[in-house]
Chain A
Amino acid sequence: MISFKSIFSRIIFLHVIAVVITAIFMPLVLYWFVKSAADDLLRQAMRDQADLVAHYLAMQGNGEWTLELPPGLADMYSQAYGRYLYAVLDSGGRVLFSSLKDRAPIFTGDMRPGNFALLETRRGNAAISGVSIAKKIGDQTVWIQVGEDLTHRDVIIDDIVADFFKRVGWITLPILLFLLAIDIVIFRRALRPLLKASQSAKEITPQRADIRLSTESIPGEILPLVEAVNQALDRLEKGFRVQREFTADAAHELRTPLTILRSRLDTLVDRNAAKALHKDIDGMARILTQLLDIAELETFSLDPSEEADLHAICAEIAEFTAPLALGQGKSIALSGTDKPVWVRGNSEMLSRAVRNLVENAINYSGAGSTVEIAVSEEGVIQVFDEGPGIAPDDRELIFRRFWRRDRRRKGGAGLGLSIVQRIAEAHAASIKVENRPTGGANFALSFAEAR
C-alpha cells in the first residue's frame, strides 16, 4: 500500500481508483444487460418463427413428412432473400427439410439435452444466430431450427447494442470526472477548518499560551482530537502560569522585608557599615526587579499598534542613570540625532532594555570613564563603554540567563542581557556586541522599522 502523508491525497487517490474501475465496469455491466435483453428479444422472435414453421409441418399416412409453407413465409426463407433460414431434423438427426440448397442442418451437433437452445454458428461470411426447439407432432419428436443472419441486421435494438460504447460508454467518463471534481471541492472545504486550526496552533508560545484551536465547523470526526489538544493546552497554560506567578509573587514578597532591612540600616550608627550594606541591598533589589521583569516578559507580547520614540527613551534613561554613574565617579552622555525616532514598540519595555545595557556598561567601566548612548535616525541604539570589552568567545554566552564571566564579581546575577535579548526578540530587533577599536564594548540594538 502506498503511504500518503496527506489525508487529502489519500482520499483523492482512492477516489481516482474507484472512478477508473467504475468507468470500466459500469459500461460493461450495462452492455451486458442491454445485450442480454436484446438476445431475449431475438430468442423470442426465433421461437415464434419456429412455432410458425411447426404449424405447417405435418406427417402423412405413409409416414412421409410434408412442409407446406404459405408463399409469404416461403419468400422470407428463400435463398434470394438470404436472411432467414430454417431446417427440420428428425429425432435421429436426419435433415427432413431445409431452406438451404444443400439440405444441411443450420446447427450441427447434439442438441437433445434440452428442448430449446439459443445457438450461433457461421456459414461462410454469415454469422447465424437462432434457436433449435423440440416439437412433438403426433408421436414423433422433430427438431426445428430457425436462424437469422446477423451480418445484415438492421434491427434498431441491435444498433443500440452495437453503438453502446460509442454513445453511452463515453458519457460515463466525463460524468465520473465531474463527480471527482465536485468531491475534491467538498474535501477541500471539509479540511479548511483544520488548516485554520493549525494556523492558530502555530501562534502558540509560552508567551501566548491563551490561544485555543477553534472548534467551529471542525468535522465531527476530528473534533475529539481538537478538543483533546485544547484541553492539553489548558493544562500546559496552567503550568506556565503557576510558575510565572510564583516568580512574581516571590519577588513581591521579598520586597517588603528588604525595605524593612533598608530602613533599619538608616538607624545604624556606623555609617560606613550602613553604606556597604545599602550597596548589598541595592544589588538584591536589582536582582528582584530583574526577576520581576523576566516574569512580566514571559507574558509580554507586543501590541502592533504601539509606537515608541527611541530618542525620548534614551534621553530618559540617560537622565535616570546619570546619578548612579556620577555616584561612582563615572559619566553618561547622549549623542546622535536629537529628533524623535519612531519605531513599533513598547516604550516601557524598550526603556528596560536600554536601562539594562547602560547599567551594565556603568558597572563594567572604571572611574572617570563615560558611558555613551547614541541614537541614529535609522533606528539603532548603541551603548558604548570604556570597560574591558567582551571576549569574542563570550559574545553568545553573555545573553544567557545567569551567565557571568566572573562569578566572584559583585553586583549582578547575569540577568540583564538576557532581558535585553528577550525584549529585542519581542520587538523583532537585533542585538549585536562588538569591541571598540579604542577599547570597551559597543552594544547595538537595531530596529527594522524606523520611520
Chain B
Amino acid sequence: MRLAVVEDNPELAQLLTQGLKREGYDSDLMTTAAEARAALASTRYALLILDLGLPDADGLSILREIRERKDPLPVLVLTARGGLHDRVSGLRSGADDYLVKPFALEELAARLEALLRRPGQLLGRALQVANLVFDTESRQAFIDDRPQTLSAREVAVLELLMRRKDRVVSKKLVEDQIFGVSGEIASNAVEVYVHRLRKQLSENGAKVQIHTIRGVGYLISEEKAA
C-alpha cells in the first residue's frame, strides 16, 4: 500500500514518512505542488496526504484538479489553518478528511485506517479494541481468539461502535442503522442491546469498556488500567 505525501517542511515530511512506515505504509514524498502534480499523473496511490501550505501553490488547487478529473483518490488534508473558512473550503474542494496541525501520528493513523477501509478498499477486514477483535467479513467477534456468540443485532451494534473506536456513536445513528427508518422500535431498544453486549464482553474477559454518554450515545474504548 503506497501513499503520496505532499508536505513542504522537510523535517515534518521525514517524520511523517517514518511514522507511516511504522504503521505499515510505504510513502512517496513530494515537497512542491509541481512535484505532486507530476507524481500523481504517473503513479496510482492508495491515498494522498496533502499539506495546504505549499511554496509554489495552494494545496487546495491540487485537490480541485484531482476532483475535476473525477479521480476517486482518497485525500486527507493537513492544514495549519484551523479557521472556519479554510476548513469549509477544504471539504468543499473534495477532501475526504482533514487534520489540523499539530496532530498526533496516532490520530493520523486512525484517520488513514478509516479512509482506507471505505467501500471498495481492501485493507482492514478486522477491527480491534484491546483483546476484542471483530472480523468484518465473517461478522464474527473474538475475545483473545475465542469466538463469541452474539445475536445479529448485537453484532451490528458492536460493529458500529468498533468502527468508531474512541469516538462517540450517537444513539440516533445506532437506531437508524440497526432498525432502519421504517422499523417501530421501543425507546430503550438500543440500551437493551448495549446492556447485553456489556455483560457478554465483561463475562468473557474483554478488556474494553462501552461508555454511555447520556443523551448522546455510546463509545467503546480500551479498559483503563485501574
Contacts and interface: CB of A to CB of B under 8 A. Distances in A.
B92 to A, nearest CB: 14
Given A259-B12, A333-B215, A315 B80 contact: no
B96 to A, nearest CB: 19
Nearest to B7: A256
B221 A256 contact: no
Contacts of B81: 252
Given A262-B104, A315-B216, A318-B216, A348 B211 contact: no
Given A260-B15, A292-B83, A296-B83, A334 B214 contact: yes
Interface in A223-239: none
Nearest to A252: B80
Interface stretch (A81-89, A105-113, A206-214, A322-330): A322-330
Contacts of B72: none
A154 B193 CA distance: 124
Interface in A324-347: 326, 329, 331-335, 338
A370 B214 CA distance: 10
A296 B83 CA distance: 7
Contacts of B221: 323, 326
B166 interface: yes
A349 to B, nearest CB: 8
Contacts of A260: 9, 11-12, 15
B16 A322 contact: no
A95 interface: no
Interface string A103-146: 00000000000000000000000000000000000000000000
Contact of B82 (A267, A289, A323): A289
Nearest to A253: B80
Contact of A332 (B16, B18, B53, B216): B216
Contacts of B102: 255, 258-259, 261-262, 281, 285
> How would you classify the secondary structure of chain A's contact residues: helix, strand, loop or mixed?
helix
Contact of A266 (B19, B168, B211): B19
Given A259-B103, A315-B216, A329 B224 contact: yes
Chain B interface category by residue count: 20 to 34
A333 B213 contact: yes
Interface in A246-294: 248, 252-253, 255-256, 258-264, 266-267, 278, 281, 285, 289, 292
A326 B219 contact: yes
- For B16, B168, B217, the residue with the greatest tally of chain A CB atoms inside 10 Å of its CB is B168
Given A296-B84, A334-B215, A266 B105 contact: yes
Contacts of B11: 260
Interface string B17-28: 011000000000
B58 interface: no
Contacts of A335: 214-215
B196 interface: no
A319 interface: yes
A278 B11 CA distance: 19
Contacts of A322: 168, 211, 213, 216, 219
Nearest to B83: A296
Interface in A70-110: none
Nearest to A258: B102
A256 B78 CA distance: 10
Contacts of B214: 331, 333-335, 370
B101 interface: yes
Nearest to B15: A263
Interface string B70-99: 000000000011111000000000000000
Given A264-B15, A322-B213, A334-B215, A255 B101 contact: yes
Given A281-B102, A323-B221, A334-B213, 13 more contacts: A252-B80, A256-B9, A256-B101, A260-B15, A262-B105, A266-B104, A266-B105, A278-B104, A285-B102, A296-B83, A319-B170, A322-B211, A333-B214
Which 7 A-B pairs rank lowest in CB-CB distance, beginning with the nearest? Answer: A334-B215, A333-B214, A263-B15, A258-B102, A319-B168, A255-B101, A259-B102
7 contacts: A262-B102, A263-B12, A263-B15, A318-B216, A319-B168, A319-B170, A333-B216
Interface of A: 248, 252-253, 255-256, 258-264, 266-267, 278, 281, 285, 289, 292, 296, 315, 318-320, 322-323, 326, 329, 331-335, 338, 348-349, 370, 373
